[in-house]
Amino acid sequence: MGIYQATIRWRRSTEETFTDGRYSRAHEWLFDGSASVRASASPLTVPLPFSDPSGVDPEEALVAALSSCHMLFFLSFAAKEGFVVASYDDCAVGILDKTPEGKEWMAKVTLRPCVVFEGERRPTAGEVESLHRRSHDACYVANSVRSEIQVDGKAEGIQ
């Protein structure tokens, strides 16, 4: 179907011994040949100064990918239904937990989209709920993870 690629680039500073564990986890994600994102281990996992809070950490990226994928399907489905979306904002939250075996994992992600509709044709609350359910079912990223994903959305400008 499709092949997606990301290049992850990290370099040790010459001042860092490395084997003592005191090295920077800051690195770079490169996409599509030109998009570049500063990345790092989470400061919740690796203390400063060995992590960089200005970088995106893998856990945040997973939450963002789930939210973004859901949104893109929602917008597509809403457009096909004739609903005009003026804005879509989500403050998604991921919860890291431990399995019974003691392994850490992203146990739950809650999407909190706030969608504003405009135009002549406005959806009902039930239609918005259906758009979210269909978006979740279609989302490639959600279909690829075993985490619980909850959608707790709000909508404005509905019937």
What is the pLDDT confidence band of residue 101, given thresholds at 50, 70 and 90? Answer: very high
Say whether 37 sits in a helix, a strand or coil.
strand
> pLDDT by residue (tens digit) across 64-91?
999 999 999 999 999 999 999 999 999 9
Average pLDDT of the chain is 95
Q: Tokens representing 138?
A: 């279609």
The percentage of the chain sitting over the pLDDT mark of 90, rounded to a whole number, equals: 94
Mean of pLDDT values over 48-54:
96
pLDDT at position 39: 97
CATH of domain 1-56: 3.30.300.20
Fold agreement (1-56, 58-156): yes
Over the stretch 111-128, which tens digit does the pLDDT of each residue have? 999 999 999 999 999 999
Domain 58-156 in CATH 3.10.20.600? The answer is no
Quick check: 4 pLDDT over 90? no
DSSP 47: -
Give the pLDDT score at 33: 73
Give domain limits for the chain.
1-56, 58-156
Rounded CA-CA distance 24/42 in Å is: 12
Q: Concatenated DSSP letters for 85-115? A: EEEEEE--EEEEEE-TTS-EEEEEEEE-EEE
2 pLDDT band (50/70/90 cuts)?
confident
pTM, to two decimals? 0.92
